[in-house]
Amino acid sequence: MKPEYQESWVNKGVCLLILGRYEEAIYAYDKVL
């Protein structure tokens, strides 16, 4: 996924949080910042 797709990275982070995959979620949120 391209870094400029911020909404997609946020959505991915939310999904990963729900699945309990916290480190991957943090990585996804870092892409947005």
Whether pTM exceeds 0.85: no
Q: Is 5 left (phi over 0), alpha (psi -120 to 50) or beta?
A: beta
Nearest to 26 by CA among 9, 5, 2, 1: 9
Cβ within 8 Å of residue 14, ≥6 positions away: 25
- So what's the pLDDT on residue 4? 77
CA end-to-end span of the chain: 15
> Taking the chain (33 residues) in consecutive chunks of 10 residues, what is each chunk's mean pLDDT?
84 98 96 88
